[in-house]
């Protein structure tokens, strides 16, 4: 009796396997056989995951359009690949790479993300888009002028960023009094403006953009008073097995550097040539 039951179970499993194989073979253009670039081109749509951070990749509150430095670079690269539609899916910054690897509706992450060894374990990065470092933002009226003034200060930074790591390092070294983490840049900026914290460690790109918007209540410590300690290079990220998509984007990114398109985008957001990375210096070699 036990043998008969085992044979029956085996027969059912075998039938199910045969049905799956048969069905898969009869699905026109089986999606499972296509790589990410093929699927994106067929849909005519590239989905970018971002935490909606100004000025990197965000929905403009006035125009409702997806825009920003990273957004414009990737959107132009996609256009040159024949992909004319780009949409944003909003994900908390700290979850971006996790969602990239678990949510099949996402094609790429682009949100002012530093390329680090830890992140390389989770994703495949494109060639470098541009570079930056950290900046210190304080209320316009503040006792903080130099790094030495941090000793009794409470500083804040965004969760998942290299800047929060730097802030925690400073606390461990006794350079700052305490550290507060924030989910996004808006909450961080609000906390500095309302003096809930004494200073914020954030992107120099974000700081430059904020200054260009004539913010009257905040200031950025100038290079003469504070020397950045956390320089980094920014790139977009795809899944590790989406090599074809990464290589195709890299080709267009390099092309956009050669024809000055990327430099023009940087200048549009009040960033000078110091943020630009050449083709030679911007290569990330794919395995």
Angle at 208 between CA 237 and CA 132, to 5 degrees: 40
Return d(Cα 73, Cα 266) in angstroms, integer. Answer: 9
DSSP code at position 203? E
Do 58 and 111 fall into the same domain? yes
- pLDDT at position 208 is 84
Q: Is residue 16 part of a domain?
A: no
Please state, for a pLDDT cut of 70, what percent of the chain lies above it.
Answer: 86
Return d(Cα 198, Cα 192) in angstroms, integer. Answer: 6
pLDDT (mean) for 132-156? 93
- The first and second tokens of residue 257, run together, are 């550097």
| Phi and psi angles of residue 62, each rounded to the nearest 5 degrees, phi first | -90, -50
Q: Is residue 23 part of a domain?
A: no
- The first and second tokens of residue 137, run together, are 């933002």
pLDDT (mean) for 225-230? 89
Total count of domains within the chain: 2
- pLDDT at position 33 is 63
Q: Is residue 220 part of a domain?
A: yes
Q: Look at residue 15 and tell me whether its pLDDT is greater than 70.
A: no
Q: Look at residue 29 and tell me whether its pLDDT is greater than 50.
A: no
pLDDT (mean) for 157-161? 94
- The first and second tokens of residue 138, run together, are 């304080």
Residue 81: closest CA among 56, 108, 57: 108
What is the domain-level CATH number for residue 124? 3.40.190.10
Do 44 and 71 fall into the same domain? yes
CA distances from 94 to 49, 54, 270 (A): 12, 16, 27
Do 83 and 163 fall into the same domain? no
- Give the length of the chain: 287
Neighbours of 65 (CB within 10 A): 10
Q: Which domain holds residue 46?
A: 34-131+233-275
What is the DSSP code string of 118-150? HHHTT-EE-S--EEE-EEEEEESS-S--SGGGG
């Amino acid at each position: 009796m036990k043998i008969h039951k085992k044979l029956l179970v085996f027969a059912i499993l075998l039938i199910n396997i045969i049905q799956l194989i048969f069905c898969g073979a009869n699905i026109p253009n089986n999606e499972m056989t296509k790589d990410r670039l093929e699927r994106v081109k067929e849909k005519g749509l590239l989905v970018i995951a971002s935490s909606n951070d100004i000025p990197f990749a965000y929905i403009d509150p006035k125009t409702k359009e997806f825009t920003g430095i990273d957004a414009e670079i990737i959107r132009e690269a996609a256009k040159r690949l024949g992909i004319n539609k780009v949409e944003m899916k909003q994900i908390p910054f700290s979850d971006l790479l996790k969602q990239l690897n678990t949510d099949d509706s996402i094609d790429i992450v682009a949100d002012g993300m530093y390329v680090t060894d830890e992140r390389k374990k989770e994703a495949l990065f494109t060639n470098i888009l541009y570079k930056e470092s950290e900046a210190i933002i304080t209320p316009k009226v503040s006792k903080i002028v130099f790094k030495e003034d941090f000793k009794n200060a409470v500083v804040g930074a965004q969760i998942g960023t290299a800047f929060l790591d730097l802030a925690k390092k400073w606390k461990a070294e006794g350079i700052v009094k305490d550290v507060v983490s924030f989910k996004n840049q808006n909450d961080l900026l609000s906390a500095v403006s309302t003096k809930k914290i004494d200073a914020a460690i954030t992107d120099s790109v974000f700081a430059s953009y904020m200054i260009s918007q004539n913010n009257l209540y905040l200031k950025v410590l100038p290079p003469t008073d504070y020397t950045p300690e956390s320089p980094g290079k920014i790139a977009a990220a795809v899944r590790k097995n989406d090599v074809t998509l990464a290589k195709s984007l890299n080709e267009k990114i390099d092309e956009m550097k050669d024809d000055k398109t990327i430099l023009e985008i940087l200048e549009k957001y009040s960033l000078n040539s110091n943020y630009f990375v050449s083709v030679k210096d911007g290569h990330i070699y794919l395995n």
